[in-house]
Structure 1
């Protein structure tokens, strides 16, 4: 099925059958779902990670890192670096190192202050948990955007740890679109580094001759969702278009994904973007939305609780306040879209699949919530 055919597929919206929000039931195309509010009162939560003991590690864009356990939210974790909590910037994504149980290492992204303004940064640290307080130790900046700006938009940023231990981090173009085509600029890129911040020798520009050695792919506008896809054994990312043209991409080494030369959207003025929807040397998206849904957060479902969704993409929508499920066949081709929880929870910022197969959502609100989806 081609992209235009996909866009023509009918959307199924869900019917909420039980209120209040703290315990609601929904019918979807393939399964009945029960939702519960795990935590609330968070200030614009942005990223979520599952700790081995069942607790949740969650970032607030305003700059706090907190631990949620048994419905109780901790005081802020101490020693988080200074963040620029303005516009779309702040404390952003968080992920656990594969050896977290022994090392306590976490990774997180944030808008880092510096000369000229702020830019996306990736850091590692050791999480120390105590009976009455929690703190970070050995904070190390692994990536610091090489050109900072006072603009408040398009920081990215998601962290994905590949099966080989390499780290991918998505970087928005900071509202300065031409930076996405500058291979000497980290903005508008997917970066790939080793766990210690060094550069993998097999990166496409590892020798530094044609681009920065940490760059994996270019031509991205504002990728706010990314995940490792075990079906295609590759990274997948979702990114904001302008007016239309939100995309699902499969970032490949050295490839250029077109922004702002090609796009399926238009400028907010209504003007055409670049050369149109295609041009030689630029990659096509796997899927796109028009009109835009403002995607943020991406999970690729792998779990036992919802076998009907196995391999499907779950994408949060800020604009339409819903969860988009992109159905795929056994080869990874998109076959349709189901739109779920339309307006039920507010702006959905992040989507995560828990170890037990349940799905967690973060809502981007001043009174942000963590919502858990289980089989009804």
Structure 2
């Protein structure tokens, strides 16, 4: 069925700031074109000159895929990874000045150094230069390591966004068993951090002068953010997994607390209240939430007219749980329509990106994952 968009918009405008618009099916004629197959749990997608793609595979491989779908061999030069569960090689982006410096940024689950007596793992961010011929990584430099390291294979977060000023935002999960640390400012668990492209806290971070707070922190109270994008409004947008229900879209503002695990629209697995409820003074409300959870991953704004003027400005979010793509229509900074596409795809959507050609590209998460182009 298809619900009237005007009715949704009217209901959203008269409701609370939180916007639980229910998803509706679409009659839009969309399909997918397979660009490449045979990827093992692909996780992150970036675009190279000449129509080539740079794709991470969670088990620890970084590949270049040609426009015709031919896959190159794994690139040499990756650092040591903690592969297992949700961990491994995760997101990747190219630097805004890639055409000149051939620099990329990637994040991954980093094991502790046994030589230093450490244990556990955490999310790390590194930069590297793509060698001529795109056969290897050179000048690999770890720019950031989440503190503390934790014995867990869950909730790494790990989406990267480069702002127009060159600084980097990185989303960090709270590692599941350490959810209460999302409220602490002496750790990086459940945080969004803002970093200089050469490493270290970016100048002007909100907690730089607060005693006991880590200077990289931009916002806190997050659970497991696996989608992030720079919005057309000039702001960072993210989404994060809730527990059982309560997946959220947020626009993290500097020095703000987004509530987890004190407030949430979800509940414990198997039932039971989490925290104090859905609201508390001093804690931010999400822009949008889903109940039940869709298990969101990947996030992209459409800035082209490839799919018609009506879709320009839409926000696309992948669903792992329901194996579909959500198109969110925004009006006045609010979600007024949430329609889902590709309901019969039957594949977990891990990443969503708009390419330089204006088309939307998807990665599917499976042992035989695919790179797909959304057709219209």
User: Alpha-carbon deviation of 1:332?
Assistant: 2.2
Q: Is residue 51 from structure 1 mapped to residue 48 from structure 2 by the alignment?
A: yes
Bigger shift: residues 351-360 or 197-206 = 197-206
Contact (CA 8 Å) 1:296, 1:315: kept in 2 or not?
Answer: yes
Q: CA deviation at 1:8?
A: 5.1
Q: Which residue of 1 aligns with 2:244?
A: 243
- Matches of residues 180-219 of structure 1 in structure 2 within 5 Å? 180-219=182-221
Task: Please state whether the residue corresponding to 2:126 is helix, strand or coil.
Answer: strand
When residues 192 and 6 of structure 1 are mapped into structure 2, their CA distance, relative to the original with a 3 A threshold, is closer
Change (3 A) 1:8 1:49: closer
Structure 2: distance between partners of 1:245 and 1:168: 23
* Residues 6 and 336, structure 1, Cα contact 8 Å, conserved in 2: no
Of 112-121 and 283-292, the range deviating more from structure 2: 112-121
Aligned-partner SS, 1:180: helix
Report if aligned partners of 2:41, 2:58 keep a CA contact under 8 Å in 1: yes
**Which aligned runs of 4 or more in structure 1 are off by greater than 4 angstroms?**
3-6
Aligned length, in residue pairs: 355
Q: Secondary structure of the residue that 2:30 maps to in structure 1?
A: strand
Deviation track 1:64-95 (CA, whole Å, cap 9, x = no partner) reads 00000021001000011111110100000000
8 Å CA contact 1:3–1:288 kept in 2: the answer is: no
Q: Which runs of 5+ in 2 are unaligned?
A: 1-11, 113-117
User: CA RMSD of the aligned region, Å?
Assistant: 1.5
> Which residue number corresponds to residue 16 of structure 1?
none
Identify the residue that residue 154 of structure 1 maps to in structure 2: 155
Deviation, 1:145, is 1.2
Shift of 1:311: 1.5
1:11 paired with 2:24, answer yes
- Please say which of residues 215-224 and 33-42 is displaced more in the overlay: 33-42
Q: Which residue of 2 aligns with 1:24?
A: none
SS of the residue 2:131 aligns to: strand
Using the TM superposition, give the Cα deviation of residue 269 of structure 1 relative to its aligned residue in structure 2, in angstroms: 3.0
Post-superposition offset of 1:343 = 3.7
Query: How high is the TM-score relative to the length of structure 2?
Result: 0.92
Q: Per the alignment, do residues 82 and 5 of structure 1 end up closer, same or farther by CA in structure 2, a change over 3 Å counting?
A: closer
Q: Secondary structure at the match of 1:157?
A: strand
8 Å Cα contact 1:320/1:343 also seen in 2: no
- Which residue of 2 is the match for residue 286 of structure 1? 287
Secondary structure, in 3 states, of the residue corresponding to 1:120?
Answer: strand
Residue of structure 2 aligned with 1:117, choices 115, 120, 145: 120
Cα separation, 1, equivalents of 2:119 and 2:286: 33
2:229 aligned residue: 227
Aligned-pair distance for 1:207? Answer: 2.3
Distance 2:24 2:17 in 1: 14
Structure 1: distance between partners of 2:335 and 2:239:
14
**For 1:362 and 1:95, how far apart are their aligned partners in 2?**
15
Alignment-derived partner of residue 296 in structure 1: 297
**1:1-376 alignment to 2 at 5 Å?**
1=12, 2=15, 7=20, 9=22, 11-13=24-26, 27-28=27-28, 32-69=29-66, 70-114=68-112, 115-130=118-133, 134-175=135-176, 176-230=178-232, 232-306=233-307, 307-329=309-331, 331-375=332-376
Distance in 1 of aligned mates of 2:35 and 2:253: 37
Asked if structure 2 preserves the Cα contact closer than 8 Å seen for 1:199 and 1:214, the reply is yes
C-alpha distance in 2, partners of 1:61/1:272?
A: 33
Give CA-to-partner distance per residue, 1:38-73, whole Å, 9 cap, x none. 011101000000102110000000000000002100
- Conserved 8 A contact 2:305-2:311: no
Instruction: Give the whole-Å Cα distance in 2 for the aligned partners of 1:189 and 1:344.
Output: 33
Secondary structure, counterpart of 1:226 in structure 2: strand
